[in-house]
Amino acid sequence: MSEVALPIMSSDRLGELLALLKGADTVELKLSVPDGDQRSAVSALGMDPLDAQIRQVVFFDTPDLTLDRHGVVVRARRVQRRPGDAVVKLRPVRPEKLPASLRRSPDFGVEVDAMPGGSFVASGTMKAPVDNAHVADVLSGQRPIRKLFTKQQRDLFAAHGPEGVELDELRPLGPITIMKLKFTPGDYGRRLVAELWFYPDGGRILELSTKCPPGEALNVAAESRAFLGARGIALGGVQQTKTRTALAYFSGQLT
């Protein structure tokens, strides 16, 4: 039972989580699988790599990661056989402090990301579709970065980004190739998403995740831990975040 027990939080920490859940639209429960356990996890969950979709992600920031320090993520993504997307994300956010006009936008959502060990963070994301070819044009220098983003996204960046930093002054950090697989194990009953990120230095991050409404988060977390733990998937390993790993690698290449 100790393998699947929920982490113990202080009353203050639990209160913070419950407040974030109250103001969130969705919750995403995430687990990064240690490199040495990735093959066994793929086998234990019956994942078929041939069902995966290929994606490319590129982040935009300054060489010294000014946006990251200010809690802003700017990202574009190319997707196999589907339109890509562009994102401006604020992280962390307090949902109750966001402008009502922003919360009313159909393109903006608040999501709480939670990981084993009791870590969690709320993000506010404005997402819009983008032509895959336009992302490729930006990477090749044939199109300015700002052209990937809608007026609403540019306004969000202007309101919350670092003072004096323009979108077209940012540098591409990436791209990173990703394999994404959506599947539903028969004895779990919920859809899982597996993302395998391939970093240029040979490193890999395999992340498993599932989404749920905020009101179901604690129950789904317990069920997910029980399911994964019963299949020998380590739940207590060091959790690597895909975005921060990418930013650290590519900013190091620029500097």
Each residue of 87-102: pLDDT tens digit? 999 999 999 999 999 9
HSE-CB at 79 with a 13 A cutoff on CA atoms is: 13
The confidence band for 234, taking pLDDT boundaries of 50, 70 and 90, is confident
The pLDDT of residue 2: 31
The pLDDT of residue 13: 84
Confidence check: pLDDT of 3 > 70: no
Cβ-proximal residues to 186 (8 Å cutoff; 6+ apart), any chain: none
Alpha-carbon distance 197 to 180, whole Å? 9
Confidence check: pLDDT of 31 > 80: yes
Confidence check: pLDDT of 207 > 70: yes
Q: What is the pLDDT of residues 109-134, one digit of tens each?
A: 999 999 988 899 999 999 999 999 99
The pLDDT of residue 255: 74
C-alpha distances (whole Å) from 143 to each of 74, 127, 149, 168, 229 are 16, 20, 12, 10, 47
For 46, the 3-state DSSP assignment is coil
Backbone phi, then psi, for 114, in 5-degree steps? -130, 140
Alpha-carbon distance 225 to 208, whole Å? 12
For 126, the 3-state DSSP assignment is strand
How far out from the chain centre does Cα 110 lie?
A: 12
Alpha-carbon distance 179 to 181, whole Å? 7
* Domain 11-254 classification at class level: mainly beta
Q: What is the pLDDT of residues 19-30, one digit of tens each?
A: 999 999 999 999
Confidence check: pLDDT of 8 > 70: no
pTM assigned to the model = 0.92
Cβ-proximal residues to 152 (8 Å cutoff; 6+ apart), any chain: 105, 107, 126, 128
Whether residue 235 contacts residue 3, with contact meaning beta carbons closer than 8 Å, is answered with yes
Instruction: List 87's β-bridge partners, or say none.
Output: 75, 127
Q: What is the pLDDT of residues 152-188, one digit of tens each?
A: 999 999 999 999 999 999 999 999 999 999 999 988 9
Confidence check: pLDDT of 5 > 80: no
- Residues 24, 239, 87, 63, CA torsion sign: positive
Percent of the chain with pLDDT over 70: 96
Residues 60-86 have a mean pLDDT of: 97
* Structure tokens that stand for 181 in this block: 């697989």
Instruction: Report domain extents, the chain.
Output: 11-254
The pLDDT of residue 175: 97
Angle value at C-alpha 126, between 159 and 211, nearest 5 degrees:
140
Alpha-carbon distance 31 to 214, whole Å? 18
C-alpha distances (whole Å) from 54 to each of 162, 167, 175, 179 are 33, 27, 12, 5
Round the average pLDDT of the chain to a whole number and report it. 93
The pLDDT of residue 177: 97
